[in-house]
Chains A and B, each alone.
Chain A
């Protein structure tokens, strides 16, 4: 099946720094992408999405960048807070959603 890979399985950042989580997706025909956050003991929660006709989208403290040339997606979190500690997934849509393996973000106070 399809797979979505992440460059870094774990990431540790100091509180207040910016975080960048990367994702390589597999299908150039994927038309829609979502970043999810999964806190311990909970289900994945939608953070931000982007369509394939865009290359950047901003939310509150989060920005998603899409580079279709190299099939790369990134999530930038500004001024990372302890509450941002979680596993982050990117998902690409090609008929259905395919999730990556996740990156575990730890914020050091």
Chain B
């Protein structure tokens, strides 16, 4: 069974559209994250939730809105997609409230045309 699973794996869409990426973890972890990886492989944290509560919110356009219906899920909704949003988005999870070893999903490659 996949520990951290994201869907979809690939997402191709037009500028201006709204899209969502879903993430689920079956590790029983308390904390989940969203990262953005650019074309140069640079990984930057976007958000972190602990037990459904937002604990890290980096400087991210408010077009990006995370939602955590329960501690096993953290979805990412993006409004009014722009060309610069094209990247690979990774979901991750870790145990406990302190930032610990993170287990990553396989990523969602978003291409905005």
Contacts and interface: CB of A to CB of B under 8 A. Distances in A.
B103 interface: yes
Contact of A89 (B43, B56, B101): B43
Interface in B55-113: 56, 58-59, 90, 92, 99, 101-107
Interface residues of A, number: 21
B45 A45 contact: no
Given A43-B105, A102-B41, A102-B42, A96 B90 contact: no
Interface residues of B, number: 21
Interface string A67-109: 0000000000000000000010100010111110110100000
Contact of B103 (A1, A41, A42, A46): A46
Contacts of A42: 106-107
Contacts of A98: 45
B32 interface: no
A101 B42 contact: yes
